[in-house]
Amino acid sequence: MKEEIPILKGKTKKELQEICEKLGLEPYRANQIYTGIYKNRYTSLDQFTTLSKDVREILKSKTSYPEIELGRDLTSKDDGTRKFTFYVDENKEIEAVWIPSGDGGRKTICISSQVGCTLNCKFCATGLLEFKGNLATWQILDQVLQVEKLVGDRATNIVFMGMGEPMHNYFSVLKAAHILRDQDGFGLGAMRITISTAGVTTGIKRFIENKEPFNFAISLNHPNPNARSSVMDVNDKHPLDLLIDCAKKFTKELDRPITFEYVMIPDVNMGRDNAERLAKIARSVNKCKINVIPLNTDFTGWRRPTEDEVMEFVNILKSKTKAPILNRRSPGRDINGACGMLALKGVRSEVR
């Protein structure tokens, strides 16, 4: 059986040390390779000038240093958001989004964790796709490397809110997050990295048990346990009551707030009753914040709320809870790069 050629990207320091040992290289070479990949963002092995030419030649012949391939690059005329489609394999596409803030301070990359998704959230375009597998750690991290190279700037924040359910690719996602956090790696603080879930409670429990340091967000989207399944089928296996118990455990054991993401859909999950239910959940969890997001997709038969409807909903929330509430709005909506729109190409008629 032919031995598989190791891919250098996506590896921890320890894994790189093991590769170096097999290749007969000194252990300290692993640290040079690690910082070259992640800290220095080298795009080819020829740039690793801290390594001798002989060592570089060994790595070229015995290891692999691949890149995900750029497909499309779309720029929003409204706010400068850019959406990138990448090919990770034949007939396998993912999308990542560069979201700059208006003042030039915060620069966020929204990255994907799966090709397609295992879930079917009714408002999310990714649910239209066939699930074609989990991304490897190197493919997750390479989204950051490629986006930064394409925009000519470095991210200040990373959110695992792209295509896929991160908790269904838990180990690759968390491995990537720790490399992003490592000061010898990408050098982002843990509080600049947010991992999200549609509500997979088994993953949340593992996250808590492992005392992971990263920000965490739950895509809630309906506060009624009897109605949430009509919006998110994950609720059938991981019901709302259990999900809220996990959120309470998160804030108690990790002693930091959790974020609830809430896509606002008129006549589905808005109105006074739902606002009061959502506020009650926020009060019970204690340490939380709520990000409200107007519905972006239009293939559902549902409509996007008006500004007045959003304001009314938010005002009821504010009157019933002290939790911070942020209207995330919809950067990149004109290029189908906003929340729930990944998997839509540049124009609506090109839904895959």
Q: Which residues are catalytic?
A: 95, 339
Nearest alpha-carbon partner for 347 in 299, 305, 302, 300: 299
**SS3 helix, strand, coil % of the chain, rounded to 5?**
40, 20, 40
Q: CA-to-CA distance for 32 and 173, rounded, in angstroms?
A: 24
Residue 124 structure tokens: 């999310």
* Coil/strand/helix, residue 9: coil
State residue 42 phi and psi, 5-degree precision: -65, 140
For residue 28, give every residue at least 6 positions away whose Cβ sits within 8 Å of its Cβ, in sequence order, or none. none
| Strands 107-110 and 114-115, bridge-based pairing | unpaired
CA distances from 27 to 34, 56, 105, 232, 318 (A): 12, 15, 38, 48, 56
CA–CA dist 65, 78 (Å, integer) = 36
Ramachandran angles phi, psi of 169, nearest 5°:
-135, 45
Q: Which of 286, 289, 264, 288 minimizes the C-alpha distance to 275?
A: 264
Burial class (CB in 10 A: 0-12, 13-18, 19+), 182: middle
Report the distance separating Cα 250 and Cα 245, nearest Å: 9
Residues 6+ away with beta carbon under 8 Å from 259 = 194, 215, 216, 217, 218, 288, 289, 290, 291
Burial class (CB within 10 angstroms; exposed 0-12, middle 13-18, buried 19+) of 61? exposed
